[in-house]
């Protein structure tokens, strides 16, 4: 087993995480900006990184910026947004070839840091405002990005479940922002928010590759000077103790119905019971050996996909499946029965061992990709816990059957969401 | 066992052809946790008209049978193969494409056991009337899931426009009606025709010792009684130069329209280095026309005709090949018109110069290095390339030697109004 070693060092306002490894042909920089999820800022935050990655003072058009990236042996640059618990996170990733595999030995790493610095600190702007045309065209694309979820029914059903389930919580907000707020954003209001985000967000930089750690530290000091700032903490919402489950049915023009069921577990990443919750999820619905797959798909032939997953920083368990309109009753009762079996402890020691093996395998595989390493390590930032891979593995090993039953009993049904076509049976 | 070293990339590939004809490749990747293995047959959805093993005349089989067979391989008399893999800490999967069916696993422990499980389950079919019937419900849900997916419908809709007869126009999973005709006997017939080791390739990539892996596979294969099999006779109808439909529109439950422009190649007979060069030069050409660093891309983006779903690609297999350009758009007719215009006027060569070419080549080389971080990419693409007599590891040298003449010639050969088609998905 190849355990990843992370060295962490705060350089003023930036926490630098370095993972030195020679297994990749590329070097990867992942830049993360974290702030509490809130209605006031969600759309600004969703738009900002797209404006920043489209141009800069030195590369005033996307064509010029992209031509420069191509010149750096197709360095890839992309941004994305995620919700982790009560936080909204902006990520910017630059991945470039390691020149030792090229016939041309131009040092690319320094250039990548210079570029990150350029994009973050020298955007295309004038008198406290971004370029108007850039902002307008990114607003248009963001609008399409928000609307795109309507055209992908699997994602749509998942989004609708979260909206219904968390309707009074910030977590219901769309990760790409809210359509209604988009027209109100101007090139100057976005610029003001940009200054605020750079001054207040919690900043982390992950550097993964065959690098010289002193050299990287030097680049960060020189090119990414950010002042120290206090970490803004969001209040943790664990949900009510007793829940009155709700059922929401929606009709649309679809051939396949989507059944999405949300449960509250009250257990978050970093909590003592989290390992047991992961194993619970694995036996219940996480894999192709799980109860849901065997009973809903293999035995009853009701679905092609049926699975459960955890929202690890929000304490939610989500089941999702695509079924026939007429299978609602049968599918929901099989899923409920399987959860009841979990609560009763109807699973073997062999299933526990098998599930632990698969989860550990999944973790090690994730650690084989640079992006995966950054995502796994970033859980520690979001949860404010310090767990390395060995501790994680040990925590997983220590779980016994009773722990899983205890967790299963905490899983409470919150909302059933059913998106169905026209000929639904009552 | 042969060894092939790629010094610049610091990789070494090991190869052996087994006595029964199976090609086995191993690429050690030290430092990785995961071993990834694919066991692939050169048999996909397009192989629906062929002479079965031990028969004299050709048969036509129901649409979707290769994919159906892939699903059924996982079920055995003593249970489900997924269970066995997960007991051994592995995750397993499979996929069917136009030309291939691949079975795969990845694991960070018990690699030997998992490899044996992979080979043995694919070489031991078990179909019964009952299990075949039961699978029809599951695959039926898979088909309806894709029916609701507008990107899927757009892609397959465009291919169906491009081709008159070629079976690439048939949905890989078939239809609910076509799969209802499938029987266990048909599955056995397809299996025995296409799953002989001489029609298959095993690729293993990960932190492994190549000698051990190859010895293990050799022993496994030597213990099984495969007799030599004649080469498979596949039948394809003559395909006209023109497209079947110039334009099709699908009305779906979407908010944002979608539009793709396709062009089919007039000659998909190349194999080996010639095919590799053609595929790479056409992809460089498309990059020079539509890449993010081009004027065209920036104009289309500023006009609001494209967004970040915009993509372009050329791919070819034996017997068919096409370019596809498009994505979500506010104005599908205008986008179609612009893309066609850009393509048609590009044959005069005024869109590119030496500097742009060199930049695009650099970008592709960097992209290839990035892809080599992925065991999945290496195994899947190496297999695809090998089935077309191409060598994945020749990508960099061929790219480095591309010239403007190559690009101009590729553009002239591909681009022609009569081989273009448009498919659009529009809101109801």
Say if residue A209 is in the same domain as residue A264. no
CA distance A69 to B366: 10
Say if residue A298 is in the same domain as residue A153. no
Answer yes or no: do A63 and B297 touch at CB < 8 A.
yes
Averaged over B171-180, what is the pLDDT? 96
Residue A319 falls inside a structural domain: yes
Helix A349-366 vs helix A389-397: crossing angle, to nearest 10: 170
Averaged over B71-95, what is the pLDDT? 94
CA distance B231 to B102: 20
Count of pairs with CB atoms under 8 A, one residue in A, one in B: 209
Residue B93 CA from chain centroid, whole number? 16
Confidence of residue B358 (pLDDT cuts 50, 70, 90): very high
Say if residue A11 is in the same domain as residue A95. yes
CA distance B232 to B41: 12
CA distance B306 to B290: 11
Q: Which of A266, A262, A267 is nearest to A160 (CA)?
A: A262
Q: How many CB atoms lie within 10 A of CB B386?
A: 18
The second-level CATH assignment, the architecture, of B247-427 is 2-Layer Sandwich (3.30)
Say if residue A408 is in the same domain as residue A375. yes
For chain A, 426 residues long, give each residue's pLDDT as a single digit of tens: 456 789 999 999 999 999 999 999 999 999 999 999 999 999 999 999 999 999 999 999 999 999 999 999 999 999 999 999 999 999 999 999 999 898 888 889 999 999 999 999 999 999 999 999 999 999 999 999 999 999 999 999 999 999 999 998 999 999 999 999 999 999 999 999 999 999 999 999 999 999 999 999 999 999 999 999 998 888 877 665 678 999 999 999 999 999 999 999 999 999 999 999 999 999 999 999 999 999 999 999 999 999 999 999 999 999 999 999 999 999 999 999 999 999 999 999 999 999 999 999 999 999 999 999 999 999 999 999 888 889 999 999 999 999 999 999 999 999 999 999 986 544
Question: What pLDDT, on a 0 to 100 scale, did the predictor assign at position B160?
Answer: 97
Burial track A136-162 (b if 16+ CB lie within 10 A, e otherwise) = ebbbbbbbbbbebbebbbbebbbbbbb
For A264: left if phi > 0, alpha if psi spans -120 to 50, otherwise beta; the answer is beta
Question: What pLDDT, on a 0 to 100 scale, did the predictor assign at position A424?
Answer: 52
Averaged over B168-172, what is the pLDDT? 96
Say if residue A135 is in the same domain as residue A253. no
Residue keyed to tokens 């389930």: A165
CA distance A224 to A113: 8
Say if residue A216 is in the same domain as residue A69. yes
- Identify which has the larger pLDDT, B350 or B231: B231
Say if residue A207 is in the same domain as residue A276. no
Say if residue A253 is in the same domain as residue A347. yes
Question: What pLDDT, on a 0 to 100 scale, did the predictor assign at position B351?
Answer: 82
Residue A304 falls inside a structural domain: yes
Question: What pLDDT, on a 0 to 100 scale, did the predictor assign at position A426?
Answer: 44
Averaged over B21-49, what is the pLDDT? 97
Residue A239 falls inside a structural domain: no
Residue A71 falls inside a structural domain: yes
| Lookup: tokens for B356 | 């742009």
Is the distance from CB of B256 to CB of A144 less than 8 angstroms?
A: yes
Burial track A79-91 (b if 16+ CB lie within 10 A, e otherwise) = bebebbbbbbbbb
| C-alpha triplet B50, B54, B57: angle, nearest 5° | 45
- The rounded percent of chain B whose pLDDT value lies above 90 is 97
Residue A230 falls inside a structural domain: no
The ipTM is: 0.91
CA distance B343 to A238: 56
Question: What pLDDT, on a 0 to 100 scale, did the predictor assign at position A239?
Answer: 61
Last-in-domain residue among A223, A254, A282: A223
Q: Which residues of B touch A66 (CB under 8 A)?
A: 291-293
CA distance B8 to A101: 6
Those of residues 346-365 in A touching chain B at CB distance below 8 A are 350, 353-355, 357-358, 360-362, 364-365
Residue A29 falls inside a structural domain: yes
Averaged over B150-154, what is the pLDDT? 97
Question: Of A62, A73, A144, which has the smallest distance from its Cβ to B366's Cβ?
Answer: A73
Answer yes or no: do B34 and A103 touch at CB < 8 A.
no
> SS3 for A174?
coil
**Tens digits of per-residue pLDDT, A172-217?**
999 999 999 999 999 999 999 999 999 999 999 999 999 999 999 9
Min Cα–Cα distance to chain B from A167, Å: 24
Q: Domain B2-222 carries which CATH code?
A: 3.30.830.10
Say if residue A376 is in the same domain as residue A301. yes
Q: Which of B26, B19, B14, B17 is nearest to B222 (CA)?
A: B19
Q: Which residues of B touch A1 (CB under 8 A)?
A: 33, 108
Query: Is A2 at the interface with chain B, CB within 8 A?
Result: yes
Q: Which residues of B touch A22 (CB under 8 A)?
A: 31
CATH number at residue A350: 3.30.830.10
Q: What is the DSSP letter of B208?
A: -
Residue B348 has pLDDT above 90, yes or no: no
DSSP string, A29-55: EEEEEEEE--TTTHHHHHHHHHHHTT-
Is the distance from CB of A90 to CB of A32 less than 8 angstroms?
A: yes
Averaged over B329-333, what is the pLDDT? 97
Query: Is A337 at the interface with chain B, CB within 8 A?
Result: no
Non-local CB neighbours of A50 within 8 Å, separated by 6+ positions: A79, A138, A141, A142
Domain residue spans in chain B? 2-222, 247-427
Q: Which of A288, A345, A278, A293 is nearest to B86 (CA)?
A: A288
Answer yes or no: do B8 and A72 touch at CB < 8 A.
no
**Looking at the annotation, which residues of B are catalytic?**
70
Q: Which domain holds residue A93?
A: 6-223
| Lookup: tokens for A107 | 């040092």
Say if residue A217 is in the same domain as residue A154. yes
Query: How many domains are there within chain A?
Result: 2
Is the distance from CB of B321 to CB of B166 less than 8 angstroms?
A: no
Whole-Å CA distances, A11 to A109, A230, A346, A379, A415: 19, 14, 51, 20, 44
Q: Which site among A145, A368, A422 would you substitute to test the B interface, given the most B Cβ atoms closer than 10 Å to its Cβ?
A: A368
Averaged over B372-396, what is the pLDDT? 96
Question: What pLDDT, on a 0 to 100 scale, did the predictor assign at position A103?
Answer: 83
Confidence of residue B79 (pLDDT cuts 50, 70, 90): confident
β-pair type (A87-97, A76-84)? antiparallel
């Amino acid at each position: 087993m190849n355990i990843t070693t992370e060295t962490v060092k705060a350089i003023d306002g930036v926490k630098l995480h370095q993972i030195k490894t020679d297994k990749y042909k590329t070097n990867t920089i992942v830049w993360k900006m974290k702030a509490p999820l809130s209605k006031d800022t969600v759309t600004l935050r969703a738009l900002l990184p797209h404006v920043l990655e489209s141009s800069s003072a030195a590369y005033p058009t996307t064509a010029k910026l992209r031509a420069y990236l191509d010149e750096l042996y197709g360095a890839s640059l992309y941004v994305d947004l995620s919700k982790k618990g009560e936080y909204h996170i902006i990520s910017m990733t630059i991945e470039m070839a390691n020149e030792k595999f090229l016939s041309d030995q131009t040092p690319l790493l320094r250039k990548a840091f210079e570029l990150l610095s350029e994009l973050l600190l020298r955007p295309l702007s004038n008198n406290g405002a971004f370029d108007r045309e850039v902002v307008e065209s990114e607003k248009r694309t963001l609008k399409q990005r928000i609307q795109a979820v309507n055209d992908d029914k699997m994602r749509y059903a998942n989004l609708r479940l979260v909206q219904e389930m968390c309707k009074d919580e910030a977590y219901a907000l769309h990760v790409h922002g809210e359509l209604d707020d988009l027209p109100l954003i101007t090139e100057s209001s976005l610029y003001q928010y940009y200054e605020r985000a750079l001054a207040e967000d919690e900043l982390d930089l992950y550097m993964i590759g065959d690098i010289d750690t002193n050299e990287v530290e030097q680049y960060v000091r020189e090119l990414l000077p950010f002042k120290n700032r206090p970490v803004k903490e969001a209040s943790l919402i664990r949900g009510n103790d007793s829940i009155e489950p709700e059922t929401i049915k929606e009709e649309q023009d679809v051939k396949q119905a989507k059944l999405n069921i949300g449960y509250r577990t009250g257990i978050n990443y970093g909590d003592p019971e989290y390992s047991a919750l992961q194993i619970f999820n694995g036996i219940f619905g996480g894999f192709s050996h799980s109860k849901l797959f065997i009973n809903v798909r293999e035995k009853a032939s009701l679905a092609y996909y049926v699975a459960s997953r955890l929202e690890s920083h929000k304490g939610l368990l989500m089941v999702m499946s695509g079924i026939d309109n007429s299978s609602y009753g049968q599918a929901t009762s099989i899923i409920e029965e399987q959860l009841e079996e979990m609560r009763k402890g109807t699973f073997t020691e062999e299933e526990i061992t098998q599930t632990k093996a698969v989860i550990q395998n999944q973790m090690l595989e994730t650690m084989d990709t640079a992006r995966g390493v950054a995502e796994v390590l970033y859980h520690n930032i979001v949860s404010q816990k310090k767990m390395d891979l060995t501790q994680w593995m040990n925590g997983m090993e220590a779980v016994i059957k009773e722990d899983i039953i205890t967790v299963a009993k905490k899983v409470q049904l919150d909302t059933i969401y059913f998106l169905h076509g026209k000929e639904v049976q009552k | 066992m042969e060894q092939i070293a790629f010094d610049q990339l610091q990789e070494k590939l090991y190869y052996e052809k087994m006595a029964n004809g199976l090609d086995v490749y191993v690429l050690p990747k030290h430092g990785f946790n995961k071993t990834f293995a694919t066991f692939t047959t050169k048999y996909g959805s397009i192989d629906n008209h062929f002479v079965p093993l031990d028969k004299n005349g050709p048969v036509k089989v129901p649409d979707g049978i290769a994919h159906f067979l892939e699903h059924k391989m996982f079920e055995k008399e003593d249970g489900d193969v997924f269970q066995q893999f997960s007991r051994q800490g592995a995750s397993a999967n499979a996929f069917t494409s136009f030309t291939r069916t691949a079975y795969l696993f990845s694991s960070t422990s018990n690699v030997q056991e998992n490899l044996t499980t992979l080979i043995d389950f694919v070489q031991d079919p078990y179909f019964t009337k009952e299990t075949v019937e039961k699978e029809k419900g599951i695959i039926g849900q898979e088909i309806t899931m894709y029916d609701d997916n507008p990107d899927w419908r757009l892609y397959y809709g465009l291919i169906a426009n491009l081709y008159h007869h070629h079976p690439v126009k048939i949905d890989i999973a078939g239809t609910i009606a076509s799969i209802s005709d499938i029987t266990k006997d048909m599955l056995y017939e397809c299996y025995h025709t296409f799953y002989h080791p001489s029609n298959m390739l095993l690729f293993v990539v990960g932190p492994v010792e190549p000698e051990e892996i190859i010895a293990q596979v050799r022993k496994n294969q030597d213990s099984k009684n495969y007799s030599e099999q004649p080469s498979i006779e596949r039948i394809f109808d003559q395909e006209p130069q023109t497209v079947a439909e110039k334009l099709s529109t699908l009305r779906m439950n979407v908010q944002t329209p979608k539009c793709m422009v396709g062009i089919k190649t007039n000659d998909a007979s190349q194999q080996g280095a010639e095919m590799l060069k053609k595929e790479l030069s056409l992809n460089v050409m498309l990059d020079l026309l539509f890449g993010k660093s081009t004027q065209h891309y920036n104009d289309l983006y500023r006009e609001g005709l494209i967004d970040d779903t915009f993509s372009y690609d050329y791919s070819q297999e034996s017997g068919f090949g096409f370019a596809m350009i498009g994505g979500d758009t506010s104005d599908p007719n205008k986008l179609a018109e612009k893309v066609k215009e850009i393509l048609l006027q590009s044959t005069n060569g005024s869109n590119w110069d030496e500097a742009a070419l060199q930049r695009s080549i650099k970008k592709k080389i960097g992209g290839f290095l990035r892809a080599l971080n992925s065991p999945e990419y290496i195994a899947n693409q190496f297999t695809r390339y090998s089935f077309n007599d191409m060598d994945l590891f020749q990508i960099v040298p061929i790219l480095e030697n591309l010239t403007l003449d190559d690009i101009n010639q590729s553009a002239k050969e591909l681009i022609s109004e009569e081989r273009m088609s448009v498919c659009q998905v529009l809101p109801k």
